Amino acid sequence: MMPRQKKLLTRIGDAAEAAKGKTQEVGASLMKKAEVVEKKARAATASVKRSAKTAGTSARKAFGKAQRKVKSTARTVEAEATSAMGKAKRAVKRNVKAAASGAKKVAGKVERAMSARKPVVKRKATAAKSAAKRGVAKVKTAARKAGAAVTKSAKKVAKRPMKRTATRRAAKRSST
């Protein structure tokens, strides 16, 4: 019986060796698969990190761009407001000066009309009476014109300044 037992034990040993070899092969295959999975996981993690970094950079750039746009718009609005305020101030000054010069002109006319004239020697009495009437009429006219000029200039100051073209200004200057 010994030789039979020996054969059986040899077979069991061979089978154990074969099973051990197969186990090692399966283990090596599993190790390779695990390494591939690990490599893929690392690649996916790196890809996600890159995407997140890109998204963060894009967001920062968009935010900076929006900030610059808002600042630029605010500066533009402020500059336009300052410009409009300056224009309005200059228009008011111009109208006030015009009103003052108009009033001064009318006051001069009134003063000249009211002043005593030198008597003309060779006139008749009726001529003197009509001259006096004319003088009174001139004073009345000058006073009426002065009042009209003052109210007109006051209205101009209250109104929004009108833009004038160069030709209209030249025409007005030549008429006065």
pLDDT in tens, 51-102: 999 999 999 999 999 999 999 999 999 999 999 999 999 999 998 888 888 8
pLDDT in tens, 116-151: 766 655 555 566 666 666 777 777 787 777 777 777
Residue 56 confidence (pLDDT): 92
Q: Tokens in use for 127?
A: 């001529």
Residue 3 confidence (pLDDT): 64
